[in-house]
Chains A and B, each alone.
Chain A
């Protein structure tokens, strides 16, 4: 399981959040991201070929890492029920397929999801803090979060205030994350940076550091409502930030790319990035999640291809 002990920063980092100016000079003192280097590294790692038994293991690992997500205005209790059934047993005809890690829903549907997942290890994640825009007062965000926690959410996916980020109010973001973290109690906190709205890799790196300093258990790329969502270079920048943070604090932060990961190939590219950047300690559902909905069907079709030898089709997996 994830460690949840209070964050104690080493001397070098302990006073970077003491004031707005200290935090600013820390964030702008981080080494710049080499855009070309990151993109080249991603392109290189994306060519890796994963076949046969390694592919079979990779598919099952990816399934175990999925946060099966539905975040639509038209979500109904019935939709949550079917989603939970799929989370428990992704392929009704094959009991050897593992369950997914979690289901991710809006906070008014947490109780429904919980009741459908009794007796399983599948977590319920709720999006909170005025998802997806994050445009609300802190009081509202705290209420939003405590509602989800009260209904039994195991994980909270919060969004940061991107407006504050672009205005340069970094300490406000830091304080907000800390306030939400307190409300979360034992629930894990994932902080969504919405990298599509942060514009540059340097900003992604800075936002990652703010979230990690403030006590996030996971950092997450996107809400899935904004394009571009989880691109591979952005994921790599965040993974590298996690690595740097781990070197300085010995604290392991989890990572969750979300949005736009639709195929087995996409998922594998992410797994390769994790393996090459953070190593095997992060290659498990406690430290790495993939936020997705349609990805699961593609993984199931690929899995079936490996077991039966024939290509499968969308008529043979459940419709979301």
Chain B
């Protein structure tokens, strides 16, 4: 035991760094018994703007990395989560009913990451195609990442849902800005520490703790964001506003309660590029 207990400062995760909010604000986070847990950074619209800039600048490198490489990186994330399993269990348990439930959630999250890691190099053959055309051409349809995705994670199963959102978006080469559950952000902060130490290039995953009602409208209207994942938006009026705002710049919008199963969720953040290539030369 150290002579002085060192308390962690829960900060944002932007561009691979852990900055405090530009606004300097924090808010208090409590557990299920209303016991104080931590002061957590309250992100602002300017943090969101910085996160978009970071995500955009990382996108070209991440999306052009080989699928094999992206798979290795995601597997590495799972490895490091496994090493910090106890910490995650303790944190999830601050809200879960029993410790057993917390353990199940953490293990599921790790398994899910490994599953995502396996998908990176299988996407193009399962979602792409070689199309028959009338003419001397090869015609391919190839899945490509859509770009920068802004996501709002739900409060239920905060760790598992966060891993599902982040993994399904980034495995195909997208960059993500995610707003975790406002009430239960601590697992997201720990997850950020895992990403920072597992070869995920800075900016590919950005985590903004705080209120989605405050931050999300800026991301929805941002012209440099290509898609929205509204999984965690519980307020219907807010969801509608975000969707309308996103429509101004033709964003892909995953609606709340979409509950897309497995591969469908991954496919939602893909675009299809079709290439014609002369044949028989």
Contacts and interface: CB of A to CB of B under 8 A. Distances in A.
B20 interface: no
Nearest to A301: B223
B222 interface: yes
A292 to B, nearest CB: 19
Nearest to A317: B223
B218 interface: yes
B52 interface: yes
Contact of A309 (B49, B56, B221, B224): B221
A93 B223 CA distance: 16
A29 interface: no
A309 B49 CA distance: 13
A118 interface: no
Nearest to A314: B224
Interface in A96-146: none
Contacts of A312: 223-224
A34 to B, nearest CB: 32
Interface in A280-320: 309-316
Interface string B209-243: 00000000010011111000000000000000000
Contacts of B222: 310-311, 313
Name which of B218, B223, B245, B248 has the most chain A CB atoms within 10 A of its CB.
B223
Contact of A313 (B56, B218, B245, B248): B56
- Interface of chain B, helix or strand or loop or mixed? helix
A311 B56 contact: no
A297 to B, nearest CB: 12
A315 B225 CA distance: 10
Interface in B239-272: 245, 248
B221 A316 contact: no
Contacts of B221: 309-311
Contacts of A311: 49, 52, 218, 221-224
A311 B222 CA distance: 5
Contacts of A313: 52, 56, 222-225
Nearest to A310: B221
Contacts of B245: 310
A243 to B, nearest CB: 35
Interface string B32-56: 0000000000000000010010001
A316 B225 CA distance: 12
A58 B224 CA distance: 24
Name which of A312, A313, A316 has the most chain B CB atoms within 10 A of its CB.
A313
A70 to B, nearest CB: 23
B55 to A, nearest CB: 11
Nearest to B222: A311
Nearest to B223: A313
Contacts of A315: 223-224
B149 to A, nearest CB: 14
B57 to A, nearest CB: 10
Contact of A316 (B49, B52, B218, B223): B223
Contacts of A310: 218, 221-223, 245, 248
B218 to A, nearest CB: 7
A228 B210 CA distance: 39
21 contacts: A309-B221, A310-B218, A310-B223, A310-B245, A310-B248, A311-B221, A311-B223, A311-B224, A312-B223, A312-B224, A313-B52, A313-B56, A313-B222, A313-B223, A313-B224, A313-B225, A314-B56, A314-B224, A315-B223, A315-B224, A316-B223
Interface of A: 309-316
Q: Which 4 A-B pairs have the closest CB atoms?
A: A313-B224, A310-B221, A313-B223, A311-B222
